[in-house]
Amino acid sequence: MVTYLGERNIAMWSCDLDSFDFKANKADKIVNTVMTKLDKQGKGIILMHDFQKHTAEALPELMKRLKAGGYKVVQVKAKTPVQTLAKYDEEVIKSVKLPTVNTRPLSSVVQTISE
């Protein structure tokens, strides 16, 4: 997989620490877990799950603590879109049961939060 992605000029990386936000039942638990691990390691890429309610609730406090601790938060964004490969696209289309349209409004699933 590493060779394949490299040949296609697709970047890859892993996380350095896991927030275990999927196990937490409170936002402050997530903040404390992340900050404890960061204080020990000094830096790192944090794994968090954006579909967890408590993760969203933890973000404002976590961002404040990261900023106060001198950490830099960055967004990783591709320089160019990844191009699909026709032969793989054909195989995927064969295995997908169409239609895949969902009438559920996006706002019922996603909530935008701001600082």
Q: How many CB atoms lie within 10 A of CB 31?
A: 24
- The 3-state DSSP class for residue 25 equals coil
Task: Note the pLDDT of residue 64.
Answer: 95
Task: Note the pLDDT of residue 57.
Answer: 93
Q: Where are the alpha helices (DSSP H) in the chain?
A: 2-7, 27-41, 53-68, 86-95
Task: Note the pLDDT of residue 98.
Answer: 66
Give residue for tokens 């830096």: 43
Sequential pLDDT tens for the chain (115 residues): 888 888 888 888 888 999 999 998 899 999 999 999 999 999 999 998 877 889 999 999 999 999 999 998 887 778 888 888 888 888 888 887 766 667 777 777 777 776 5
Domains annotated on the chain, with CATH: 2-82 (3.20.20.370)
Give residue for tokens 């601790």: 69
